Amino acid sequence: MAQHKINYTQNGGLPVALTSMDKVVNWGRSNSLWAMTYGLACCGIEMMAAGASRYDFDRFGTIFRASPRQSDVMIVAGTLTKKHSEFIKRLYDQMTEPRWVISMGSCANTGGMFNTYATVQGVDRIIPVDLYLPGCAPRPETLQYGVMLLQKKIRANKASRAQKPKRLM
């Protein structure tokens, strides 16, 4: 029988990779960001375009789900009216932790040009936001870049189970 030494931790040995739990969990989370369909206005069209074949969110593992219980990230795309504000809070509460929110476009960020009585002046008055995308409406590339930044953020943080409560404002 041939005798030789096997270095298990090197390429060419056995397929073994050593890493930390944090990295594995965060790797899984960041590459299967299921987004909740939340197109409220014209930004929703750009969000749909980013999900369709030309820009193709599936490459990032981002698949749109119609249920808050199956989704990790809520992409608030469009104008949030005061009448709707209680529902966005309810849907956010129904999402399982860990959860993230991308505020897409001027209206979701600050109320945008709708400086009126019926518009919520920024979704961060209702739910905590991780990422603000500027633009009216942002191009699909911007949303793609935003998702990549969010992936980067997820990988930079600890994957411990207890998520720190986020600051609302």
Binding site for another protein (CB under 8 A): 17, 19, 23-24, 27, 30-31, 82-83, 85-86, 89, 110-111, 115-118, 120-122, 125-126, 132, 145, 148, 152, 155-156, 168-169
Rounded least distance, CB 152 to another protein, Å = 7
Report the C-alpha gap between 22 and 155 in whole angstroms: 8
Report the C-alpha gap between 132 and 110 in whole angstroms: 10
Comparison of 70 and 157: residue with beta carbon closer to another protein = 157
- Is residue 14 classed as helix, strand or coil in its secondary structure? coil
Comparison of 48 and 131: residue with beta carbon closer to another protein = 131
Which of 102, 114, 105, 101 is closest to 135 using CA atoms? 105
Rounded least distance, CB 121 to another protein, Å = 4
- Tokens 């104008």 -> residue: 79
Report the C-alpha gap between 39 and 70 in whole angstroms: 17
Comparison of 52 and 168: residue with beta carbon closer to another protein = 168
Rounded least distance, CB 120 to another protein, Å = 6
